[in-house]
Structures are given as C-alpha cells and as structure tokens.
Structure 1
C-alpha cells in the first residue's frame, strides 16, 4: 500500500523516507536508541506523537514537515526535474579539461620537485665533505 492511498499514514511515510535514504530499520533503531522491532511498530503506526516524530526526523536527516508532507508523487516529480531539458545540470558536470592530462602534469611536477630535492641533498653532502677535509 503506498502513501498515495493513505496520505496521513505517518509510519508508511517514515518507512519510505528511510528506504529512499538507503537506511535499514536496524540503523534507524540504533539512531533512535531502540530496537528494530520498535521501528517496525513505529512504521506500522498511522499516527505518532510529535516528540517521537521530531526524534525520527532528526535521525533520518529531514524535517518534521518533510515527513508530514511526504508523497510518492512529490518524490517522482522531484527526480523528474533532473531529466528536464531546461535544466543545465549536465553543463556543470562536463569537464573542460582532460583529467589524465592534469594527472600527468602533477606527476611531472612531483618528478621535478624530487630532482630538486635530490640535488639539494647532493649539494649538502658536498659542502659537508669540504668542511671535513678542511679540518
């Protein structure tokens, strides 16, 4: 039974939000300081007291209003907005450079730094050898 058939069934709304957040009942139970059976009973309850709802919302990382106003249709509409051609989301995810080129630039920089470090160490050894010969 979906939340569309019983829009005020808070327990089912909590269950769907938990599922959408890829959270198991055990994880929610741990966050609430209870056990899995209590969470199962909570998700089967049509109504929940306000204080418990606040705790559940915090554990799920959503607001109380998000739980109360949750609907499957709203979720579908939300995710469908990512597929609209009017959105420019894909524009922001497009690389304007070749990541492998950047990686190779970094490797070359590291190589140059190591060569400079090695040369500095050689110079230091040479200087110390001169000091020892002078004594």
Structure 2
C-alpha cells in the first residue's frame, strides 16, 4: 500500500496566518498592492507564484518557508502546551514565576544612592562655577 502525502494548500496557509495576525484581506491586499479580490483568489489557490508568495510573507512578517510549512496541528500543540484552563474554562498562561536572584529593594536603594551621589557632585560643580 502506497501512501502519498497531500500537497500543502499554500492559499489556505496564507489565510490562516493572516487570521492569526488579525489582518483583514483588505490590509494584506493594500500591503502588497493588489485588490482584496486578488487576495481572496490567492487564498483559494493551492499554489502561489514564488514572487507573490515572497511579497505576502513579507507583509505578514514571516518567511515564505513558514507559509509553505505552516501546520495547524503545530499551532494547536503550541497553544495546548502554553495555555491551561481552570474549571471555569478560563485560559491561564503556563509560565514560570520569575524569581530574581537579587533583592529588588536593594537594587532600588542602590540606584537611589547613586542618584543622590550624582546630585551631590552636580551641586559641588555648580558651587565651584558660582565662585
């Protein structure tokens, strides 16, 4: 039994990336200098001209390779591994709590002392200029 891989639908990938970027077809069309209808046609096409793909990728802030290799499964995996929902269905971002290895209060005091020292030096210079 031979399995063939289904070719990537480049237009659909463009559409999904554009939607993830919260960009409307009109905005993408304006960015690359075509009409909204042209973007619609491109998004319904399985293949896209390499030059046009490069322009679209640039407008979307990705590379052409990202568009070619875009996978919704990968995006869902990233979302599932990044977010967790509590019992109320509210998404909670899974992040590690940042624990600095220094006392922030000590840093504030240190900065205040440096600022105070700089002001003292400035006053001494002003007094010298005044004389």
Deviation of 1:104 (Å): 4.1
Point out the structure with the larger strand share. 2
TM score, norm. by length of structure 2: 0.65
The 1:96/1:26 distance shift into structure 2, 3 A limit, reads farther
Higher Cα Rg, which structure: 1
In structure 1, the partner of 2:92 is none
* Corresponding position: 1:32 with 2:32: yes
CA distance in 2, matches of 1:19, 1:98: 43
Aligned-partner SS, 1:34: coil
Structure 1: which 5+ residue stretches go unaligned? Answer: 1-5, 84-88, 127-135
In structure 1, the partner of 2:102 is 97
Length, aligned pairs only: 115
In structure 2, the partner of 1:109 is 114
CA-based RMSD: 3.0
Paired residues of 1:7 and 1:71 also in contact (CA < 8 A): no
Aligned-partner SS, 2:34: coil
Point out the structure with the larger helix share. 1
Aligned positions of 1:55-94 closer than 5 A: 55-80=55-80, 90=96, 93-94=98-99
